[in-house]
Amino acid sequence: MHKIRLVGLLLLSVYLLAACGLPKALTTEQVVGSIPNDTPASEVIDAPDNATVNQPIKLTINTYGSSSCTTPDGTQVEVNGLTATITPLDRVPRPDSNVACTADLAARPHSVEVTFAEAGDAVIRVIGAGGEGVQTIKEQRITVTQ
């Protein structure tokens, strides 16, 4: 009797999978991280007030996205003189993935190291996606000493 029930359940499962189709694999894409325009720079850039020439400093750059679907996926860093430009990248589900994400805007931290080769007043500039194709730029100044 148990074998008949088990075989029946197995056949029903196979039928349902065939009727509904197998779930689609989640596909993701890398995008410039989202930084809402109204977010203060102090919540986006966590950096020390001072740095030393040729010594790396550790920064945390926050992007914002769904806590269930957005994951940090690297950064692009360019240092030109006393300006460090950082573009944080996130991995998100592709629009055709049909995946449901939570609607919260959680901070998604990116760890970055930057080294300045000269002394002076430096700028840490973060370029993020502000929504609807608009860039968001946040800046923080630090002092670089010998």
Query: For the segment 81-90, what is each residue's pLDDT rounded down to a tens digit?
Result: 999 999 999 9
Contact (CB, 8 A) for 45 and 38: no
Q: Is the pLDDT of residue 59 over 50?
A: yes
Which residue ranges make up each domain of the chain?
24-145
Q: Tell me, what amino acid is at 104?
A: D
Q: Is the pLDDT of residue 121 over 60?
A: yes
Q: Is the pLDDT of residue 17 over 50?
A: no
pLDDT of residue 69: 95
Contact (CB, 8 A) for 28 and 91: yes
CA 71 to CA 63: how far, in whole Å? 9
Q: Tell me, what amino acid is at 24?
A: K
pTM, entire model? 0.81
Q: Is the pLDDT of residue 72 over 50?
A: yes
Per DSSP, the three-state class of 23 is coil
CA 108 to CA 96: how far, in whole Å? 23
**How far, in whole angstroms, is CA 144 from its chain's centroid?**
28
pLDDT of residue 90: 98
CB atoms within 10 A of CB 16: 9
Q: Domain 24-145 maps to which CATH number in 3.30.160, 1.10.3470, 1.25.40, 2.60.40?
A: 2.60.40
Q: What is the mean pLDDT of the chain?
A: 88
CA 130 to CA 31: how far, in whole Å? 12
Residue 121 backbone dihedrals phi, psi, to 5 degrees: -85, 115
Contact (CB, 8 A) for 69 and 99: yes
pLDDT of residue 18: 42
